[in-house]
Structure 1
């Protein structure tokens, strides 16, 4: 199917059919996000081209989903998320940290600007995000 204009649409249609068969629904906000609620727990899968992220508070559902997907598609589990769509993900005892350092460094190298001097930015450095309650 590679090389045909309809191949991505056909593949995604097949993937969507399989996900619905496994009990997942499309999210209203993003057609590449699939959600399953089971026994008070939630499992989420988002897919971009041939990469996907699966997360859940239900480890049994993750294992079952991996087995089902492997029976339908050729897949490889790359382990814990480290890099996705230009975003690096680092885990620590304090939580998850997201960074685009590698993406920016690659972009600077590609544009020949790696040796340029940095400039101050108007954004507050080391800003901590928090929950805003009105």
Structure 2
């Protein structure tokens, strides 16, 4: 990715970012053998996909729906990321699916 002009994210080393001359941005998130890519220009994203095919054996799975146990849904107003399925599967796997929920006290005004 560095050969193609991408910079590695400072806070997250699986993220690569490229800024173009026309003030557009391309973001790739790479985790083992999964890649998420996004850009605000359909023509350039198609070009990027062709470039990735030349370098790597990849398959385009279309719109992002699941990634690392997270479900991703889109609407015209928002993108929602949920780990509900992951949590339910984890509770079942550990034999805790019949546990009752409990409130976790936290200061809502605490700056993290």
- Please give the range of the TM-score, normalised by the shorter of the 2 chains: 0.7 to 0.9
Which 4+ runs in 1 deviate beyond 6 A?
A: none
**Please, which runs of 5 or more residues in structure 1 have no aligned partner?**
1-18, 124-134
Could you give the per-residue CA deviations for residues 32-58 of structure 1, whole angstroms, max 9, x where no partner exists?
Answer: 211111111000001011111101112
Q: 2:3 aligns with which of 21, 36, 40?
A: 21
How large is the Cα RMSD of the aligned pairs? 1.6
SS at match of 1:43: strand
Aligned residues: 105
The CA deviation at 1:121 is 4.5
Q: For residue 73 of structure 1, what is the aligned residue in structure 2?
A: 56
The equivalent of 2:25 in structure 1 is 42
Alpha-carbon distance between aligned partners in 1 of 2:90 and 2:53, rounded to the nearest angstrom? 35
Partner in structure 1 of residue 45 of structure 2: 62
Provide, for residues 77-118 of structure 1, a one-character-per-residue CA deviation record: whole Å limited to 9, x for no partner: 111111112221111233111111001000011011112233
* 80-89 vs 110-119, greater mean Cα deviation: 110-119
Name the structure where helix makes up a greater proportion of residues. 1
